[in-house]
Chains A and B, each alone.
Chain A
Amino acid sequence: MTALQLMLFGVAMLFAQAGFAARITVAAAADLKFAMEEIVAAFRQANPADEVEVIYGSSGKFHAQIRNGAPYDLFFSADILYPRELVQAGLAASEVIPYARGRIVLWSATLQADKLTLATLADPGITRVAIANPRHAPYGRRAEEALRAAGLWETVRPKLVYGENIAQTAQFVQSGSAQVGIIALALALNPQLARQGGHWLIPEHLHTPLEQGFILTRRARGNALARRFADFMQSPTVSTVMRKYGFQLPGE
C-alpha cells in the first residue's frame, strides 16, 4: 500500500466513524432553552454513547430553514402550526407529536412583576416593553394577541421592542434595557431569571393556546437515535422536567 493509499484509507475510516457514531441535531424553540438542557442531560445519562446537539431559535426561523434543507433531525416548535405545515409539505418522517402547552407571563428584572398586570404597561413610567417578533415567534404572536384582547395594543405599541426569539426578548429585559417583557413562563421559571423577580401569568383566555408540537424531519427517517429521543419525550422523566418549567402536558 502506498502512502497515498494509506492516507485515503485513513480519511475514509474517519468518515465511516462519523457515519456510525450516533448523533442527532435538534432544533428547539427558544422557550425550551432550560427545560431541554435538563431533558438532554437525562437522556445522555441513560444513553451515554449518543450525542444530542440542540440549537435554539424562533420556531418560524426553523420552519423556514427546514423547508430549505436544514440538517435538523427533530424540530420542537412553540407553535404546532409550523410542524403541521412541514408534515403537509412532506418534510417530516413522523406525525406531529404534541408535547406541551406554553404560557406567557409579564416579567421584569427591575420592577416587582408579580404585582404588575397588563394594564400597568400603559403607565407613562414604563417606556420600553419587550416582546418576541410576532411575525415569526409564536410567543410574540400571543403577546400581540393578549395586548389586543386587553385593548392595550395601540397604547403599548410605541413602547415595544422586538426580540428575534423569546430568549433574546428575555435578555432585553434581564439587561434592564426594557423594563418589562412578555416572555415564556418556562424562561421566567428558570432559577437565574426567577431570582431577579417574580412574574405575572397572563390569562390564557386572552390569546390562542400555545399548543406546541414536534416532528422527526424527513432527514431523520430510519434514524434509530432520533426515534429513541422522540420516545424519551413521552417518559415520566421528561414530564417532570416539563411541569417544573410551567408547561402543561397534552391531555392535562
Chain B
Amino acid sequence: MSLSEADVAALVLTVELAGLTTAILFVLGTPLAWWLARTRCRCKGPIAAVVAMPLVLPPTVLGFYLLQAMGPHGPVGQFTQWLGLGTLPFTFAGLVVASVFYSLPFMVQPLQNAFESLGERPLEVAATLRAAPLDAFFTVAVPMAWPGFVTAGILSFAHTVGEFGVVLMIGGNIPGVTRVASVQIYDHVEALAYDDAHALSAVLLAFSFLVLLAVYGWRPRAVHSS
C-alpha cells in the first residue's frame, strides 16, 4: 500500500488549497469577526446568519450557485471575463473562491467567540493609555485572542481539506489543478482501486485525527491562560 505520484499530487494540491484559503480567511474573517463581536447594529443577526449558512447548506447548493455565478453567463463570470481573466469554474482560483465561502464560518465563529470573551475592559484600559483603536487591536486584542486564532486557522484548514461536493461540482477533476485528495479517493473507489483508496484515506484519517487532537489539546491551555 503506497501512494502513487497522482495521489501525492492530489495531497499537495489539497494542502495548497487549504493553506491559501486559510490565509485569505484570516484577512477577511478577522475584521468581520471583530465587527460581529462588537457591533450593536440590528443587522448583526442577519449577517451572522449569512456567515453561518455554509454550516447548514448542502455543498450542492453552494456548488450550484457558484457554477451559475462564475460561469460565462453569470455575473461573476461576466466580470472576470471583462477583466480578461476568463471564467473561474475548473480553475484553482475558482476552488479557492468556493473554499473561502465554504469554510467562512469555521474562521469567523471561533474568532468572534474569542473577541467576545475579551470583554470591553482590556480595550478601555488600552484607550486610557492612549492606544489608537488599531494599535489596541494588534497589541491587546490579538495577543489575548491568540488561542481563538489558532483554533480558527486549524478548523478552516481542516474543513477545506474535507471539502468534496463543491469541488466535484465546479472543479472538473483536472489533475494537478482541481483534483484534490477527496476527489481522488472517490475516483479510486469508483474504479474499484480499493488499495489506492485505502492508502490515501489512511493519510486523511491520520491527518484529521491529528488536527482534532491539536484543537482539543489546545483548549485546556487556552482556558488556563485566560
Of B72, B168, B174, B190, which is within 8 A of A60 by CB?
B190
The reply to whether B192 and A67 contact each other, CB–CB distance below 8 Å, is yes
The reply to whether A135 and B187 contact each other, CB–CB distance below 8 Å, is yes
CA distance A98 to B134 in the complex (A): 72
Interface assignment of B71: CB less than 8 Å from any CB of chain A: yes
The reply to whether A136 and B190 contact each other, CB–CB distance below 8 Å, is yes
Name the interface residues of A142-186: CB closer than 8 Å to any CB of B: 160-164, 172, 175-178
Stretch at the interface among B29-37, B40-48, B83-91: B83-91
Residues on the A chain within 8 Å of B86, using CB: 127
The reply to whether B174 and A176 contact each other, CB–CB distance below 8 Å, is no
Interface assignment of A64: CB less than 8 Å from any CB of chain B: yes
Least CB distance from B63 to A in Å reads 11
Least CB distance from B129 to A in Å reads 55
CA distance A127 to B87 in the complex (A): 11
Whether A176 contacts B90 in the complex (CB less than 8 A), given A161-B172, A162-B172, A162-B174, comes out as no
**Chain B residue with Cβ nearest A85:** B192
Per-position contact with A for B98-116: 1 when CB-CB < 8 Å, else 0?
0000000000000000000
Interface footprint category on A: 20 to 34
Least CB distance from A134 to B in Å reads 10
The reply to whether A177 and B89 contact each other, CB–CB distance below 8 Å, is yes
Secondary structure class of chain B's binding surface, majority of residues? loop
Interface assignment of B144: CB less than 8 Å from any CB of chain A: no
The reply to whether B172 and A60 contact each other, CB–CB distance below 8 Å, is no
Residues on the B chain within 8 Å of A128, using CB: 90, 172
Of B90, B173, B190, which is within 8 A of A178 by CB?
B90
Interface assignment of B1: CB less than 8 Å from any CB of chain A: no
Least CB distance from A242 to B in Å reads 26
The reply to whether B192 and A164 contact each other, CB–CB distance below 8 Å, is no
Whether A177 contacts B189 in the complex (CB less than 8 A), given A161-B90, A161-B172, A161-B174, comes out as no
Residues on the B chain within 8 Å of A136, using CB: 187, 190-191
The reply to whether A58 and B172 contact each other, CB–CB distance below 8 Å, is no
**Chain B residue with Cβ nearest A165:** B190
Least CB distance from A130 to B in Å reads 7
Per-position contact with B for A23-65: 1 when CB-CB < 8 Å, else 0?
0000000000000000000000000000000000010110110
CA distance A77 to B67 in the complex (A): 29
The reply to whether A176 and B73 contact each other, CB–CB distance below 8 Å, is yes
Interface assignment of A212: CB less than 8 Å from any CB of chain B: no
Residues on the B chain within 8 Å of A110, using CB: 72
The reply to whether B191 and A135 contact each other, CB–CB distance below 8 Å, is yes
The reply to whether B90 and A64 contact each other, CB–CB distance below 8 Å, is no
Of A58, A130, A177, which is within 8 A of B190 by CB?
A58
Whether A63 contacts B71 in the complex (CB less than 8 A), given A164-B173, A178-B90, comes out as no
**Chain B residue with Cβ nearest A134:** B191
**Chain B residue with Cβ nearest A63:** B192
The reply to whether A61 and B190 contact each other, CB–CB distance below 8 Å, is yes
Interface assignment of A217: CB less than 8 Å from any CB of chain B: no
CA distance A133 to B67 in the complex (A): 19
CA distance A176 to B68 in the complex (A): 10
Per-position contact with A for B66-84: 1 when CB-CB < 8 Å, else 0?
0110011100000000000
Of A58, A67, A127, A161, which is within 8 A of B173 by CB?
A161
Q: By CB atoms of chain A within 10 A, which of B68, B72, B90 has the most?
A: B90
Least CB distance from A164 to B in Å reads 6
Residues on the B chain within 8 Å of A175, using CB: 67-68, 71-73, 89
Whether A130 contacts B187 in the complex (CB less than 8 A), given A63-B192, A177-B89, comes out as no
The reply to whether A177 and B187 contact each other, CB–CB distance below 8 Å, is no
CA distance A176 to B73 in the complex (A): 8
Of A64, A160, A178, which is within 8 A of B192 by CB?
A64
Of B71, B172, B187, which is within 8 A of A176 by CB?
B71
**Chain A residue with Cβ nearest B194:** A64
CA distance A172 to B178 in the complex (A): 15
CA distance A67 to B192 in the complex (A): 10
CA distance A132 to B90 in the complex (A): 14
Whether A160 contacts B174 in the complex (CB less than 8 A), given A63-B192, A177-B71, comes out as yes
Least CB distance from B186 to A in Å reads 8
The 3 closest A-B pairs by CB, nearest first: A161-B172, A162-B173, A136-B190
Q: List 14 A-B contacts (CB under 8 A).
A: A60-B192, A63-B192, A127-B86, A128-B172, A133-B173, A133-B187, A161-B173, A162-B172, A162-B174, A176-B72, A176-B73, A177-B67, A177-B71, A178-B90
